[in-house]
Structure 1
Amino acid sequence: MAAYFFATPVDIEIKLEGEDLRKQVEMKPEKEKERGISCPVYYDGDTVQGQVVIRVRDGKKLQHDGINVQFIGSIELFYDRGHHHEFLSLSQELAAPGEMRQAQTYEFSFKNVEKQYESYQGINVKLRYFIRVTISRRIADVTKERDIWVHSYRMPPDSNNSIKMEVGIEDCLHIEFEYNKSKYHLKDVIVGKIYFLLVRIKIKHMELSIIRRETTGAPPNQYNESETITKFEIMDGSPVRGETVPIRLFLGGFELTPTFRDVNKKFSTRYYLNLVLIDEENRRYFKQQEITIFRIPEN
C-alpha cells in the first residue's frame, strides 16, 4: 500500500515550440535495451521556449508548494556519478503554492540563451542541456526532464597548413606522407599522398585509421579512452621505390564530433590520423598525426 500512497499523482509533458521544424539528433540510451531519445537541435543564442502541461490523475486534487522550470547545462563524468557539474542554470516560476484539480498549461521562455559548449555523449562523459520541471511537494517533489541537443560553430583559425611527415627505419624503409590540410570540417574529404623513397622490407598492406581520444578529469584522476572510428585500407601488397599511393577519405559517413579542448576544465576530445604499415612478419610501423575537426553551418 505504501508504494501506491507515494505514486506520482500527476503527468507532466514538456512541449518545445517549433521542435518539429528542427533537425533531430538521436541520443544514445544509457542502457542497451532502452530506446534512443530524439532531441531537437538548438544553437548558441537560440531561445528555448514551449509549454508545460500538467494533468492530475484520477480527478484527485494536487496540493503543491510551487512549480518551476529550469534550463540546465551539465557535465556528467561517469567515474564521478552523482556529481553533475552545472555550467548553466536558469529558472522561472510557473505557479505559486496552491492546489490543482484539473489539467493546467504553463508557458516558459528562456530568451537568447548562451550555450557555450556543444552537446556530447562519449565513453566517460556526457555534456547535456535539458529542461527540468519541478513540482515541489511536502512529501516528495515530482520532476520531469526533456533533453535538447546543442550544436555550435567554432571556426578554427584561418591558417590551415598541409601536413608533411616522414617515417623511416634506417636502411630498411623511408616514406613521406602528406595530407592536404590539418583542419577539416565534419563533411570534409582527407586528401593525401604517400611517397615510397626506400623499401627494403616486404610490406603486406597499409591502412589509415581515424582515432578519437577522449580525456576526462584532471591528474591524478585523469582517464584516457581511445576508439578507432574507421580503418581504411589504402594499399594491399608491397610497394616499390618511387611509388606514390593516393589517399582519399570522406569524413561525412562517420560519427564524428568537433575537436573539443578542455571543455569547462572537465574533458577533451581529439582526433588523430594513424598511418599503419604491416610487413609480412606482422610487424607494425605507424605514425600518428593530430587533426582538428570543426563544424560549419549546413545548407
Structure 2
Amino acid sequence: MSKMATIDIRLKKVNKIYTDGDLVAGVVVVDSGRSDFQHQGITLSMEGAVSLQLSAKSVGLFEAFYNSLKPIQLINYSLEVAKPGKLPSGKTEIPFEIPLKGKPNKPLYETYHGVFVNIQYSLKVDVKRSLLNKDLQKQCEFIVEYKEQDTKAKVKSVPFSITPDTLTNVKEKQNVPSFKIKGTLNSASISISKPLQGELIVEHCNAPIKSIELQLVRVETCGCAEGYAKDATEIQNIQIADGDVCRGITIPIHMIFPRLFTCPTLSTNNFKVEFEVNIVVVFHDDHLVTENFPIKLTRF
C-alpha cells in the first residue's frame, strides 16, 4: 500500500504572494494511505531564477550569446524537514518556514511569465525512498512582489492626436483615409495594481470604422557583450469601440494589467522587460492604423 503514497505542499497564505524578507510558511503533507511509510529523508528546497531564451529569428545572429544563455539564479536554498525514518499511516503534516532572501547583491525581481524572459519562484519537496520504491517529488510556485512604496510617482497626463501625418508605420499615406482622433492617457507611469485609463474622441473620419482596440505589448530584451535581441509580443487586446462610432463622442479607455504577464518595468545588464500600449483603428476594408505609447509600470 505504500506505493500509493502522495505528497503535497500547502502554503499558509492562500494567495501565495510574498515580498522580500517574508517568511514562506506552510506544511508538507504526506498521505501514506493505510500503511506506514518508510523513507530515506524529506528535503524542501526554495528556488528562484530568471530564465532567458532567444526568439527563432535571433538564434542565428548571436550564436555565442545563444550558447551562454544560462538561467540567472536568484534563490537556491534547501533544508531537511524530516530525517530518514517511518511515518504512520494516514496524513502527516510537517510544518516549515523559509525566509525569502535573495543571494548577496542579487535583488529579487517580481514574478513574471513572459515569452523570452521568465522570472519564477518555487518550492520543491523531495522524498527519498529505498531502491525498490520510486522517489516522490512535488513542486509549488509562489509569487514574489515588490513592497508597496510610500512615495507616489507624479501623474502626468499624455495628450495625443492621431492623423495620417502623425503615422510613422505607414508607407503609402495617400491610401490612408482622412481622419483625426484625439484623446488623453491619464499617465505614462502607472501602478501595476491600477488600470490604465484615458479617453479618445474621433473628431472626423471620411471612411467607416470597423473597430477601435487597445493593445498591450511586452518588449523583452536579452543581451550580453555579443549583442542584444529585442522582441515585442502582444499580451492582450481589448476592443473599446465596435462599428462606425459617432464622431465627437468621448470613448473611455480602461485596461487592467494581467498579473503574471506583466511586472514593474525592469532593466538589468542581461535583460529588460518593458511595456507599450497601441491604439489600433481598424477600418471597414480591414486596413488599420496604429499609434504607439511606451508606458512605465511601477508598484506604488
Give the alignment's TM-score, normalised by structure 1: 0.67
Matched, 1:67 2:62: no
Structure 2 CA distance for aligned equivalents of residues 13 and 169 of structure 1: 59
Question: CA separation of 1:278/1:189 partners in 2, compared to 1, >3 Å: closer, same or farther?
Answer: closer
Per-residue deviation, 1:47:
0.9
**8 Å contact 2:240–2:251 — kept in the other structure?**
no
In the alignment of these two chains, the number of paired residues is 261
Per-residue deviation, 1:162:
1.5
Structure 2 CA distance for aligned equivalents of residues 282 and 86 of structure 1: 46
Per-residue deviation, 1:144:
1.9
Unpaired segments ≥5 residues, structure 1? 1-6, 25-39
The 10-residue stretch of structure 1 (208-217 or 132-141) with the greater mean CA deviation from structure 2: 132-141
**8 Å contact 1:47–1:113 — kept in the other structure?**
no
**8 Å contact 1:271–1:293 — kept in the other structure?**
no
The superposition leaves residues 73-121 of structure 1 with CA deviations (integer Å, 9 ceiling, x where unpaired) of 23345779xx75431122222244x432536653321135468222233
Please, which of 74, 86, 98 is the counterpart of residue 87 of structure 1?
Answer: 74
The ranges of structure 1 where at least 4 consecutive aligned residues each deviate by more than 6 angstroms after the TM superposition are none
SS of the residue corresponding to residue 163 of structure 2 reads: strand
Per-residue deviation, 1:216:
5.7
Give the 5 Å matches for 1:260-275. 260-262=265-267, 265-266=270-271, 268-272=273-277, 274-275=278-279
Question: CA separation of 1:16/1:175 partners in 2, compared to 1, >3 Å: closer, same or farther?
Answer: closer
Question: CA separation of 1:293/1:145 partners in 2, compared to 1, >3 Å: closer, same or farther?
Answer: same
The 10-residue stretch of structure 1 (207-216 or 274-283) with the greater mean CA deviation from structure 2: 274-283
Give the corresponding residue for 1:251.
255
Per-residue deviation, 1:142:
3.5
Give the 5 Å matches for 1:105-124. 105-111=93-99, 113=101, 116-124=108-116
User: Match of 1:169, as an amino acid?
Assistant: P
Structure 2 CA distance for aligned equivalents of residues 16 and 195 of structure 1: 50
Question: CA separation of 1:84/1:141 partners in 2, compared to 1, >3 Å: closer, same or farther?
Answer: farther
Give the alignment's TM-score, normalised by structure 2: 0.66
More strand by share: 1
Unpaired segments ≥5 residues, structure 2? 55-65, 166-173
Structure 1 CA distance for aligned equivalents of residues 51 and 214 of structure 2: 29
Give the corresponding residue for 1:46.
22
Question: CA separation of 1:165/1:61 partners in 2, compared to 1, >3 Å: closer, same or farther?
Answer: closer
SS of the residue corresponding to residue 146 of structure 1 reads: strand
Q: With CA pairs under 8 Å and 6+ residues apart, which has the higher RCO, 1 or 2? A: 2
**8 Å contact 1:55–1:102 — kept in the other structure?**
no
Cα RMSD, aligned residues only:
4.0
**8 Å contact 2:160–2:183 — kept in the other structure?**
yes
SS of the residue corresponding to residue 45 of structure 1 reads: coil
